Amino acid sequence: MKGNSFEEPYSVTEITRGIRTILEESFPAVWMEGEVSNYRQPASGHIYITLKDGNAQIQGVIYRGYARYLSTRLANGMRVLVFGSVSVYERGGSYQINIAQIEEKGVGSLHAAFEKLKDELQQKGYFDRKRPVPRFAKNIGVVTSPTGAAIQDFLNVTRRRSAGINVLIKPVRVQGLGASSEISGAIHELNKIKGLELIVITRGGGSIEDLWPFNEREVAEAIYHSPIPVVSAVGHEIDFTISDFVADLRASTPSAAAELIVADKLELIDKISFYKSYLKKYIKVESERRREVLLRLSQSRLFTAPQEMLYQYQQRLDDYSDIMYKALRYKLGMLKERLAGVLNHLNSLNPCSVLKRGFSITFAGGKIVRAFNQVKADQKITTKLYEGEIVSRVLKE
């Protein structure tokens, strides 16, 4: 295992990136409460703070793209609620929270509502279903503001990656009162369009108030019950909404959504060219191989002189027949000799053969008489000869 004393050691970068991966996967979207200290905003436009409580502290950064949307004026000593993802600043070797939204303490009603709905939908399994998103969809419906930058980013990437994609824009308000009803209604209407393969809901970044329509229950219900797969691309990379969790696929930005769902035509052309070249080479090699096999077969005697081959096999069959016939005759001769020996032996044991040589057998009471004391005077006895028998009586013992 890497890292043991006998193996290659880890580098500092490897360990730091491993810790970063663990933190980002464990805390992708969290709310945190604390006191602001060490507030500073250099010329880069990023805001750096330390968020602390009575026992610990964590570094926080609000990148320039989010800092301009802040509705809260930060100052040291302020109690705040922040929303973001925990990560690692690799060069400094320290962990930090990348802040996307920040509220002064006491303005946490939206946060509470977010967490409550998130927990409820999670328990119902709304976040578990992730249907596959078609990679080569030709007809895509987009729910967004027709005048926002999000739709332009999405369309620019879509046109660049592949021609012939039909994008149907369903214009809605993406923030403010009534926006959630328009978004959910647009999802329902797109599901009625025959041939539509994918729905994308998207908008650019903003404060939690701006993104709030995508945290409403009716939008979550519309996404979950949509027969067509839904991709959520709301806000910037570290923005998370309820829509992101319910959707079949979450994209960090509108441009990233287009990158994920629209196949790159140049990449596809390269792949097709590669497989075309591979198939041509394979067919050429395989054709040559089979041509060589056919050539060897055509030059074999089976094709050049089939009659001669047949005669040779017939001759070989005749040779085998002769060998088998001789072996059979030899075996039969051996069996005959053995049978004759057995018959001679049986004949030598046959009592009739003994009688034929002039001997006889005497019976008394059905038993062979072997001694004189086996008979008594006046007893009837029978003498068996080779031909016939003699019946007599014993005169005296």
Cβ–Cβ < 8 Å for 127, 229: no
260 token code pair: 């994920």
Q: How far apart are CA 392 and CA 390, in angstroms?
A: 6
Read off the pTM.
0.49
CATH assignment, 139-263: 3.40.50.10550
336 token code pair: 């005959």
Cβ–Cβ < 8 Å for 96, 58: yes
pLDDT tens string, the chain, 397 residues long: the values are 565 555 678 889 889 888 988 988 888 889 998 888 888 999 888 999 999 887 888 999 999 888 887 777 788 878 888 899 999 988 888 899 999 888 877 545 667 788 889 999 999 999 999 999 888 888 999 999 998 888 998 988 888 887 778 999 999 999 888 999 999 999 999 999 999 999 999 998 877 778 889 999 999 999 999 999 999 999 877 778 999 999 999 998 888 888 888 876 667 667 788 888 889 899 988 888 888 888 887 777 666 667 777 777 788 888 888 899 999 999 998 999 899 888 888 877 777 776 666 677 888 877 887 787 878 888 887 877 777 888 888 777 6
35 token code pair: 């006191």
Cβ–Cβ < 8 Å for 235, 204: yes
Helix-then-strand count for the chain, H and E: 13, 14
Q: What proportions of the chain, in percent to the nearest 5, are helix, strand and coil? A: 45, 20, 35
E-state strands within the chain: 30-40, 47-52, 57-62, 79-89, 94-104, 139-144, 166-171, 198-203, 230-234, 249-250, 361-364, 367-368, 380-384, 389-393
Domain boundary assignment for the chain: 12-107, 139-263, 266-299, 304-348, 353-393
For domain 12-107, the CATH class is mainly beta
